[in-house]
Amino acid sequence: MPHGDAVVTGAGGFIGGYLTRALLSEGKTVRAVDRKPLTEWCQLQPDAENLVLDLSLAEACAEAVRGGAAEVFHLAADMGGMGFIENNKAACMLSVLSSTHMLLAARDAGVGRYFYASSACVYAAEKQTEAAVLPLREEDAYPAMPEDGYGWEKLFSERMARHFREDYGLATRAARYHNVYGPHGTFDGGREKAPAAACRKIATAVLTGATEIEIWGDGEQTRSFTYIDDCVTGTLRLTRSEVVEPLNIGSDHLVTINELHTLIEDIAGVRLTHRHVPGALGVRGRNSDNTRIVKELDWAPTTTLQAGLEATYRWIHDQVSAQLAGRPRHR
C-alpha cells in the first residue's frame, strides 16, 4: 500500500465498517484490519485491502501499517453493550495490547495522523449517579474513576496516545464516543447496545405476535444516542483538525430507556407491555456536553433520534424476519 492512504483497525466491527466505506468514497486506498474471519465482519468492503490480523500481537500491528499511512484509525477493541462489558472486564482491559502495539507500529512506520476511538465510559462514575445528569464535559474525566475494566483501558490508552504525541511527535487524536447505533450493527448475542437490543425485542414481538418485552432495571436510567453517520463525520473532522485533546462525539439529546423503547414502538406501530427485570445497568445517567466540539470544529451531531431509530429499526426488523424464516442475514 503506498504511503498516504488509510488504515482502519476493527474494520470488521460496526463503526469500522462505516468508516472504511467513507474513506473509500473519498477515493482513498484503505487497509481494513480485524481479527474476526471475513465472513463475520459487519460490513465487508470489496474495494479495501481486507486483512485478518490479531492486533494483540506486535508483529500483526507492524503488518497493519506496513508501508506507512497518512491516517490510522484505531477502533479495534474487545467490547459490547453494558451486559458484555460488566461481565468481561479482563477481556476488555486486554485491548491495551492492541492499543500499545498499534501506537508503537504507527510511530515506527512514520504514520501521519493517528486516531484513537475512546469512549464516554472514561468519565467518573460519581458524575453519573442521577437520571437528570449534567452533560459530561471533557474535563470531567479527571480525577479518574471510569467504568471498571473497559473504561480504565480506554482512559489509559487515551493517555498513552497523548504521550506518544508529546514524546515522539506522532500526531494523535482521540474521540470519546457516546452510544453509537445504526444499521449493520450487532443486535443479538450479548454484545449489542441498548438501541439495537430494543429494536430486536420490539421487532421480534411484532413478528411473533408477542405483547410483552423485558427492560433491564426500572427503565428510568438515561442516555444519549449517536447515529453512526454523525459518528463517522465527527471522527473524520476531528482526525484532520488541529485539536489535540480528546473530544466528545455524541448526541446531547437525553432520553430514558423507557422513552427509547416507546419511540421504537411508535416506529413499529405497536404498544407493548414492559416488564422490568434485573440486568446490567451501568451508570444512572449519561449525556454529552457538546460545547467544546462546537467551539473547536464548528460542528455537532445533527441526526435526530427519531430518524436514526427509524433506519435502525427497519434494518433490524429485516434481520429478525430473516432469522425467524431461516434465511441468511443481510450484511
CB-facing half-sphere around the CA of 195: CA atoms within 13 A: 28
Take residue 265 and report the three cell numbers written for it: 414502538
Q: Which three cell numbers, joined as nine digits, stand for 329?
A: 442475514
Find where cell 451486559 sits. 83
- Measure the CA–CA gap between 232 and 152, rounded to whole angstroms: 24
CA gap 196, 174 in Å, rounded: 25
In angstroms, the CA 111 to CA 170 distance is 7
CA distance 75 to 14: 10
Interatomic CA distance for residues 199 and 170, integer angstroms? 41
| Cα 278 to Cα 325: distance, rounded to the nearest angstrom | 31
CA torsion 44→49→51→56, rounded to 10°? -100
- Which entry of 150, 177, 181, 227 is annotated as an active-site residue? 150
- What are the grid coordinates assigned to 111, written together? 504514520
Task: Render the burial of 175-212: b for 16+ CB within 10 Å, e for the rest.
Answer: bbbbbbbbbbbbbeeebbbbbbbbbbbbbbbbeeeeee
Q: Give the residue among 42, 39, 43, 53 at the shortest CA–CA distance from 7.
A: 53
Radius of gyration of the chain (CA): 19
168 catalytic residue (yes or no): no
Helix 257-268 to helix 305-324 angle, to the nearest 10 degrees?
Answer: 70
282 grid coordinates: 451501568
Query: DSSP alpha helices (H): ranges in 142-256?
Result: 150-168, 194-208, 228-239
Residues belonging to the active site: 150
